[in-house]
Amino acid sequence: MNQLYPIFLKVHQLNILLVGGGNVGTEKLEFLLKSSPKAQVTAVSREFSESFISLASKTDTVTMIEDVYHEKYLGAKHLVIAATDDKAVNKQIHDEAKDRYLLVNVADTPTLCDFYLGGIVTKGNLKVAISTNGKSPTAAKRLRQLLEEVLPEELDELLDNLNAYRDTLKGDFEYKVKAMNEITKGLVNKD
């Protein structure tokens, strides 16, 4: 049973530590920047791959530090992603992050994750997150691709129109919810 609680984080307002600058670190950075191009990331690695450097250089919100991991890098961070190729270092990062009550994701180790970086579909202001509870990132990827194909580009225009309509509504919260439910029921009407 999937007991995860989905939330959408404003990672452009949070400080993220990403430890690892190889293939897995690049994948994690790519995921963060695709979903939130202004994600605030401090990346620490003994060395960074060319693909990591290329990706990080496309934004001014990623800081790269060539160094081995040290607990001092956890200071003033909100989220931690451990993506080194050393399981002992990843476990150390996890343990030291948990000692500071930080949320941590250890790549390819679901038991050491407080959160997963799932599949995300974005159509303008609409964002849909997909989770397989860490069981199959590949399945999440395929579902993401399917939703990207079937969700129309016009959804963003619809959301803007619904927002404008909501702003015109007078009355209490209950009235507004009822009015918005009425106008949007056709979105899922299967007739």
> Is 76 a member of any domain?
yes
Q: Which amino acid is at 43?
A: A
pLDDT at residue 190, rounded to an integer? 60
Q: Where does the pLDDT of residue 69 fall: very low under 50, low under 70, confident under 90, or very high at 90 and above?
A: very high
- pLDDT tens-digit map of 81-121: 999 999 999 999 999 999 999 999 999 898 999 998 878 88
Residues 109 and 161 in one domain: no
- Virtual CA dihedral for 36, 38, 40, 42, nearest 10 degrees? 100
CA distance 92 to 191: 55
> Is 136 a member of any domain?
no
- pLDDT tens-digit map of 123-182: 888 889 898 887 887 888 899 899 989 988 888 888 888 889 889 999 899 988 988 888
Residues 180 and 100 in one domain: no
Residues 103 and 20 in one domain: yes
> Is 7 a member of any domain?
no
Ranges assigned E (strand) in the chain:
15-19, 40-45, 62-66, 79-82, 103-106, 119-123, 126-130
Q: State which residues form the domain around 65.
A: 15-116
Residues 171 and 95 in one domain: no
pLDDT at residue 95, rounded to an integer? 98
- CATH number for the domain spanning 102: value is 3.40.50.720
Is 60 exceeded by the pLDDT of residue 191? no
Q: What is the pTM of this model?
A: 0.86
Backbone angle region of 20, left / alpha / beta, with phi > 0 → left and psi within -120 to 50 → alpha: left
> What would the DSSP string read from start to end of 111-153?
GG-SS---EEEEETTEEEEE--TTS-HHHHHHHHHHHHHHS-T
Which structure tokens are listed for 160? 């803007």
Domain tally for the chain? Answer: 2
Residues 170 and 102 in one domain: no
> Is 121 a member of any domain?
no
Last residue of a domain, one of 92, 116, 140: 116
Contact between 105 and 82 under an 8 Å Cβ cutoff? The reply is yes
